[in-house]
Amino acid sequence: MSAVAATADLDALRTTAREIRKDIIRMTYAAGGGHPGGSLSVTDLVTALVFHELRLDPAHPDAPDRDRLVLSKGHAAPALYSALARRGFLPVEELLTLRKLGSRLQGHVDRNKLPVIEASTGCLGQGIGMAVGMALDQRLRKGAARVYAILGDGECQAGPTWEALMAGGHYKLDNLTVILDRNQYETDGDTEALMGIEPIAEKFRAFRYETLDIDGHDFPAILGALDTARSTKGRPTAIVARTVKGKGVSFMERTHVYHGKPPTKEEAEKALAELGGGSLTG
Amino acid sequence: MTGKSESLRDAYGVELVARGDADPELVVLDADLSGSTRTQLFGKKYPERFFNVGVMEPTMVTMAAGMALSGRTVFASTFAIFAAGQAYNMVRQSVCYNHANVKIVATHGGLLVGGDGGTHQMLEDLALMRGLPGMTVIAPSDAPTTRAAVRAITEFQGPAYVRLTRENLPVVTDGSFALGKAAELRPGSDLTLVAVGAMVARALEVAEELHKVGVEARVLDFASIKPFDEKALLKAARETGAILTLEEHSVLTGLGALVAAATSEAYPVPVRRIGVPDLFGESGDPWLLLDRYGLSKERALEEAWELLRGRGKVN
């Protein structure tokens, strides 16, 4: 365990992550749509970023030196909305408006409606390019903000993803950290059966990234990797976070079925019970 | 009537440097075509603010959006086929959806690309870009308009697309371009020629031929495709009663379609359209290609006469 992980309140992070997972179930159930599987897999990563790593201030959401988080896998919106709400950027009650007409919580993260979102994403392979642009901007203006981009594994099949990664490596953007939510499943099934992306860590290394391969649900490992990323100079860091699709809800784990399908009422209740209890309306 | 030919691309390169002088935060991106697009001029003066990303047009556009979302004015240049074609969805999502302050200046629009052939002759870009909410679209007719347009797009926050022609074009304006305004380059009340880009000079030639036989055609330069000067169009419809459109773009979806739709809703008059038919281009001498694809002066004159006969102005 690294020094940073030893000093972090790991129990608090785990508790927060559990609350976010419950929110994801409530939100996608209430919306009757959305992407629970990939939101549950990325939850611990988002929690570590929003509650530990990123310099953010709910009182000054547009502070110039804030760290930037770009959710390139924009469909994991419920996880990010919940984390931002529980960090104080929007009311927790608003979470249940996800995907409803007039809501600030669009199906894919949207900065037009919710300015705390750094970049509207949803079409894969674009958020990572915007993150590279932001990191380049920071270097040019000698800014101290760090830029974090979360990629999906299906997204690693898209050509523009690799264009953007190539640019990040070429420009030696050591203020950029790319985190891959490697949950193994995309909409139609196992990534390796559809269009294999492995060996993925070797690909990041070949694209000139300091590359770490970790368990994406192990908080000490996540915090340690983020610590390494912050201290790495002369090149960007890629963290291959091995995760479980649908993590925390037994019947959603290791399947593509809940990639883009919300739980039924019965399933939502069962999921909440597994996550420690609570009502469907929070 | 028309002046000597000048390069729109040179005008862009020179004006871009001037914009860079005026705004120390302005950055420029290119995708391995900086000599052709003339962004090289900016790159030589401000190497630290110039990013030539190689052949990755989609990511040139997303990077541009990321830098714009960080508060900068960002110019991104490549050929029209790549900017509006290869990177279309990045322009839609990363730039327009995010209201990012990205100015795309695309060179090599239309048939006048010449020898590179149909794969590189972008004939659909004005329609693709015009269809994007929040996008400003300009197709300058000459070098002075190009400089004015490049200045104009730095005066507002938000996305813009400027289409430039590879070939030098005759100077037809005094550079008094204004966003959302059509420029009346020649007065007339018998007919209106509504043109854009390289076809503006041709429209003026057609008007001169008509003048020789006593027909006075108004010529409007619609460099500002979006916002579109519907007021000037409808005024022309009322005052001249017939409109001929001329564009070096697909006639299915370009200026002619826009003019026909706008007039039919508000003040229906006969409209005939000169443009590239539902075809891809091919290699050849640029100016011969215009003739080959129905954009000749002769063809435009025939269409003008058809309109005039319909109006009972000639037998």
SS (H, E, C) A78-122: HHHHHHHHHCCCCCHHHHHHCCCCCCCCCCCCCCCCCCCCCCCCC
**A282 within a domain of the structure (yes/no):** no
> Is residue A62 over pLDDT 90?
yes
Q: What is the pLDDT of residue B81?
A: 98
A132 Cα to chain B: minimum distance (Å): 6
In a shared domain, residues B75 and B214: no
In a domain, B43, yes or no: yes
Residue with tokens 């000749």: B296
Q: What whole-number distance in Å separates Cα of residue A279 and Cα of residue A21?
A: 13
Q: At what angle do helices A10-31 and A265-274 cross, to 10 degrees?
A: 170
Task: State how far residue A260 is from chain B, nearest Cα, in angstroms.
Answer: 21
Query: Could you tell me if residue B99 is inside a domain?
Result: yes
The answer as to whether B210 is a domain residue is yes
Question: Given CB atoms, is B66 within the 8 Å cutoff of chain A?
Answer: yes
Is there a single domain that holds both residue B28 and residue B130? yes
Whether residue B51 lies within 8 A of chain A, CB to CB, comes out as yes
Residue B204 shares a structural domain with residue B139:
no
Q: Which domain holds residue B273?
A: 183-310
Residues in A closer than 8 angstroms to B27, CB to CB, are 140
pLDDT one-digit tens code per residue, A210-262: 999 999 999 999 999 999 999 999 999 999 999 999 999 999 999 999 999 99
Q: How far apart are CA B70 and CA B102, in angstroms?
A: 11
Pair B242, B161 in one domain: no
**Confidence band for A177, pLDDT divided at 50, 70 and 90:** very high
Shortest Cα distance, chain B CAs vs residue A128, angstroms: 8
Residue A31 falls within a domain, yes or no?
yes
Q: Are residues B161 and B281 in the same domain?
A: no
By CB atoms closer than 10 A (0-12, 13-18, 19+), residue B24 is exposed
Residue A280 lies in a domain: no
Residue ending a domain, among B145, B170, B195, is B170
pLDDT tops 70 at residue A4: no
Whether the Cβ atoms of residue A104 and residue A113 lie closer than 8 Å to each other: yes
State the Cα angle at A174 between A142 and A42, rounded to 5°.
115
Per-residue confidence (pLDDT) for residue B168, from 0 to 100:
98
Q: What is the pLDDT of residue B314?
A: 76
Q: Please check whether residue A267 lies inside any domain of the structure.
A: yes
**Residue A151: Cβ-neighbour burial (10 angstroms; 0-12, 13-18, 19+):** buried
For residues B146 and B11, membership in a common domain is answered with: yes
- Tell me the nearest-neighbour CA distance from B18 into chain A, angstroms: 20
Q: CB distance from A107 to chain B under 8 Å? A: no
Least CB–CB distance from B62: residue in A141, A164, A166: A164
CA A212 to chain centre: 17
Asked whether residue B177 is domain-assigned, the answer is no
Q: How many CB atoms lie within 10 A of CB B158?
A: 16
* CATH number of the structural domain spanning residue B301: 3.40.50.920
Rounded to a whole number of angstroms, the distance from the CA of A20 to the nearest CA of chain B is 27
User: At B32, is the secondary structure helix, strand, or coil?
Assistant: coil
Could you tell me if B190 and B106 lie in one domain? Answer: no
Q: Is residue B175 part of a domain?
A: no
pLDDT at B311: 84
Measured between CA atoms, how close is B314 to chain A, in angstroms? Answer: 56
Number of domains making up chain B: 2
Whether A281 is in a domain gets the answer no
The residue range of the domain holding A85 is: 3-274
Which CATH number characterizes residue B116's domain? 3.40.50.970
Nearest CA in chain B to A123: B93
Nearest CA in chain A to B52: A167
Number of domains in chain A: 1
Residue carrying structure tokens 């790991």: A10
Q: Pick from B144, B170, B196: which residue ends a domain?
A: B170
Contact B64 A133 (CB under 8 A): yes
The residue among A130, A161, A165 with the most chain B CBs within 10 A of its CB, best to mutate, is A130
Per-residue pLDDT of chain B (315 residues; tens, 9 = 90+): 567 999 999 999 999 999 999 999 999 999 999 999 999 999 999 999 999 999 999 999 999 999 999 999 999 999 999 999 999 999 999 999 999 999 999 999 999 999 999 999 999 999 999 999 999 999 999 999 999 999 999 999 999 999 999 999 999 999 999 999 999 999 999 999 999 999 999 999 999 999 999 999 999 999 999 999 999 999 999 999 999 999 999 999 999 999 999 999 999 999 999 999 999 999 999 999 999 999 999 999 999 999 999 888 776
Given CB atoms, is A169 within the 8 Å cutoff of chain B? no
The pLDDT value given to residue B3 = 79
Is the domain of B90 the same as that of B56? yes
Q: Report the alpha-carbon distance of residue B299 to residue B153 in Å, rounded.
A: 35
Collapsing DSSP to helix, strand or coil, B141 comes out as coil
Do residues B38 and B67 both lie within one domain? yes
- Which structure tokens are listed for B235? 């005024």
Tokens 């409530």: give the residue: A26
Quick check: is A203 in a domain? yes
Minimum distance, in Å, between the CA of residue B101 and any CA atom of chain A? 13
Residue B39 is assigned to a structural domain of this protein: yes
- Residue A170 resides in a domain: yes
| A5 pLDDT more than 60 | no
CB contact under 8 A, B65 and A112: no
- For residue A101, the domain's CATH number is 3.40.50.970
Only one residue has tokens 């996800």, namely A98
Same domain, B154 and B209: no
Q: Which of residues 12-31 of B touch A (CB under 8 A)?
A: 25, 27
Same domain? B130 vs B224: no
Is the Cβ of A162 closer than 8 Å to some Cβ of chain B? Answer: no
The residue out of B141, B170, B199 marking a domain boundary is B170
Mean pLDDT (whole number) for A118-137: 97
Residue-wise burial string across A28-65, b where 16 or more C-beta atoms lie within 10 A, e elsewhere: bbbbeebbbbbbbbbbbbbbbbbbbbbebeeeeeeeee
Residues B120 and B222 in one domain: no
Contact assignment for A167 to B59 by CB distance below 8 Å: yes
Q: Which residues of B touch A133 (CB under 8 A)?
A: 62-70
Residues of A whose CB is below 8 A from B95: none
CA A245, chain centre distance (Å): 13
| B-chain residues near A127 (CB < 8 A) | 62
Q: What is the ipTM, given to two decimal places? A: 0.95
Residue whose C-alpha is closest to residue B305's, from B201, B245, B219, B215: B215
Measured on CA atoms in the order B254, B255, B257, B258, is the torsion positive or negative? positive
Q: Which of chain A's residues have a Cβ under 8 Å away from the Cβ of B62?
A: 126-130, 132-133, 160, 164
pLDDT at position A1 is 47
